[in-house]
Amino acid sequence: MTPQDDSLIPRIAIGDWVDAGIDWLKTNLSWLFDLLRTVMSFLVDNLTELLLLVPALVAIPLFALLALTLRSWKLAVGTLIGFLLVLSMEQWETMMQTMALVLVATVFAVLIAVPLGVLAAISSTVSAIVKPIMDFMQTMPAFVYLIPAVIFFSIGVVPGIFATIIFALPPGVRMTELGIRQVDSETVEAGEAFGATPWQILRGIQLPLAVPTIMAGVNQVIMLALSMAVVAGMVGADGLGKEVVQAISTQNLPLGVEAGLGVVILAVYLDRLTAALGSPGEYRTSLLALAQRTLAQRATTGV
């Protein structure tokens, strides 16, 4: 095709349409964005203060104890060593700020993703609509989400949370839908034979048996939220991401290495904990037995 042939294809100004849509939203829904900014700022600020309220030398053994309870003594020892290293690098406060941002963003993402994944699992129409949207959200470059976030919420931690939620949402939806769809059909038929309603089957069989897969999705949400939280440092969100951005702008290699190492330690800790919560095995078998007993009791009592 010659350069002259380019004029035969009219330019589709998608970017201009999106810009006009964002301007309309900002003009007509400014009260909603102000409310969201207030709520998210309140949650992150108070969670950060709560995490920093406990002295680091007290908090670190508590984090290790949590790792020992949910995972293993190896993770507990690794947590002690890793978090003490973060404290020695004077990155404890910034790591707690990043943890608060990630936890708040993860809660919002999961509250949206799980119900949406359930709807997609029980309705093929919803699934057909949701899948291309999730594909779009997951493949869009992360930096692009910062643009509307800053337009809606200005500079600070809130646009970072907004962009993080959008970027981290798709795995939660996909894994929830996958977990429910993968429940053994014979188990569902057994529930139907007991006279259970679709809601009872969903609540008593499908959701409990899908917990390991759903938790794997939550794990991925946390990891993506953590990676995006670092990018959110570009728009002023406090934490390790802001330290990394500062290190890049000033070419401060020691600061960049220390902040990056803090991100790695926090990521490993959160990854292992959520992986432990979603581990299958006896947990999955006991849930199945409990679900079957519950359905049998409801069928007998007529509840």
Question: What confidence tens digit (pLDDT) does each residue in 227-286 have?
Answer: 887 778 888 788 888 888 888 888 888 888 988 899 899 988 988 888 877 665 444 444
Domains of the chain in sequence order: 18-53+89-301 (1.10.3720.10)
Q: Return the pLDDT at 254.
A: 87
CB 230 within 8 A of CB 146: no
Q: How far apart are the first and last CA of the chain?
A: 70
The DSSP secondary-structure symbol of 205 reads I
Encode pLDDT of 111-166 as tens digits.
999 999 999 988 888 889 988 888 888 888 877 888 888 888 888 788 888 888 88
Neighbours of 185 (CB within 10 A): 9
Q: Check residue 227 and give its pLDDT.
A: 82
Candidate from 83-92, 147-156, 157-166, 171-180 with smallest mean pLDDT: 147-156
CA atoms within 13 A on the CB side of 58: 5
pLDDT tens digits, one per residue of 50-73: 999 989 999 999 999 999 998 888
CA dihedral of residues 15, 17, 18, 20 (deg, nearest 10) = 120
Is the pLDDT at 81 greater than 90, yes or no?
A: yes
Residue predicted with more confidence, 115 or 25: 115
Contact (Cβ atoms closer than 8 angstroms) between residue 200 and residue 191:
yes
| pLDDT recorded at residue 284 | 47
Share of the chain residues as helix, strand and coil, in percent rounded to the nearest 5: 85, 0, 15
What would the DSSP string read from start to end of 206-256?
IHHHHHHHHHHHHHHHHHHHHHHHHHGGGGT--SHHHHHHHHHHHT-HHHH
Share above pLDDT 90 across residues of the chain, in percent, rounded to a whole number: 18
**Vertex 221, ends 264 and 166: CA angle to 5°?**
115
Greater pLDDT, 149 or 96: 96
Give CA separation, 302 vs 115, 194, 295, in Å.
27, 10, 10
